[in-house]
């Protein structure tokens, strides 16, 4: 039995879950998300809890059991609380400006780098920090990864864009004579 799949999902007040044949719709105070309904599992809502059960013990059903529960839980958490990731920009002469849907960054290139966020993602700039916010966990993580990829942190001086909780292993420079 899947350790994650067997856990019930608490559905807070103000959140409605509609189970269809191909998709599950989760509507809450922050918005609406659609989760695919996987073929070998069933979702039942009872007593303000959603329970995911698998139809049989086949390999694909066991794999989809935990996945369906995780996707549904992330959707419920997204429409109630939301998700956010914080990125830090480190480097002499590096700057970050903007907010909302677009940020402009000076990252040591000969030109400013502009990044436009996809629909449903908000970018907040506070000095040298960029906060990516949204209700879709996958979209928030993908946007943060794309911004980080513009200038990955380097191991010698630590310059670049890194996650706030990321630890950059530093290397020693040249040894000299």
Query: 91 and 49, same structural domain?
Result: no
Among 35, 54, 80, give the residue marking a domain's end. Answer: 80
Find out whether 161 and 87 touch, Cβ atoms under 8 Å. Answer: yes
88 and 71 housed in the same domain = no
* 45-95: pLDDT as tens digits: 988 999 999 999 999 999 999 999 999 999 999 999 999 999 999 999 999
Residue 149 domain-assigned (yes or no): yes
Q: Given 62, 80, 98, which residue is the final one in a domain?
A: 80
Q: Look up tokens 């044949």; give the residue.
A: 21
The dihedral of CA 76, 79, 81, 82: what is its sign?
positive
* Burial of 1 per CB tally in 10 Å (0-12, 13-18, 19+): exposed
Residue 176 lies in a domain: no
Strand order in the sheet with 9-10: 9-10, 49-54, 41-46
Domain span including residue 69:
9-80
Judge if 34 and 76 occupy the same domain: yes
Percentage of the residues of the chain whose pLDDT score is greater than 90: 88
- Bridge partner list, 160: 90
Residues 159 and 87 in one domain: yes
**Same-domain pairing of 73 and 101:** no
Tell me: do 76 and 97 sit in the same domain: no
pTM here is: 0.89
Q: How far is Cα 164 from Cα 177, in angstroms, rounded to an integer?
A: 37
Q: What is the mean pLDDT of the chain?
A: 93
* Total number of domains constituting the chain: 2
Residue 53 falls inside a structural domain: yes
**Residue 165 and residue 163: Cα distance in Å, rounded?**
6
Tokens 């007593």 — which residue? 47
Render the burial of 49-68: b for 16+ CB within 10 Å, e for the rest.
ebbbebeeeeeebbbbbbbb
* 1 pLDDT above the threshold of 70: no
pLDDT tier, 99 (very low <50, low <70, confident <90, very high otherwise): confident
Q: Indicate whether 132 belongs to any domain.
A: yes
106 and 61 inside one domain: no
CATH number at residue 154: 3.90.930.12
* Whether residue 74 sits in one domain with residue 108: no
Whether 112 and 152 share a structural domain: yes
Examine the fold and report which residue of 80, 95, 127 is the final residue of a domain before the chain moves on: 80
Q: Is the pLDDT of residue 119 over 80?
A: yes
Does 73 share its domain with 44?
yes
């Amino acid at each position: 039995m899947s350790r994650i799949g067997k856990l019930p999902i608490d559905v807070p007040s103000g959140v409605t879950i509609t189970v269809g044949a191909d998709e599950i719709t989760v509507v809450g105070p922050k918005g609406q998300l659609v989760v695919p309904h996987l073929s070998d599992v069933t979702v039942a809502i009872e007593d303000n809890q959603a329970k995911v059960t698998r139809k049989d013990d086949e390999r694909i059903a066991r794999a989809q059991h935990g996945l369906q529960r995780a996707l549904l839980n992330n959707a419920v958490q997204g429409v109630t609380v939301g998700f956010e990731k914080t990125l830090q920009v480190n480097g002499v002469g590096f700057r970050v400006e903007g907010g909302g849907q677009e940020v402009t960054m000076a990252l040591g290139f000969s030109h400013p780098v502009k990044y436009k966020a996809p629909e449903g993602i908000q970018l907040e700039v506070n000095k040298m920090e960029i906060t990516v916010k949204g209700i879709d966990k996958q979209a928030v993580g993908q946007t943060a990864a794309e911004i980080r990829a513009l200038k990955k942190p380097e191991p010698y001086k630590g310059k670049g864009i890194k996650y706030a909780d990321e630890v950059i292993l530093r290397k020693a420079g040249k040894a000299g004579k």
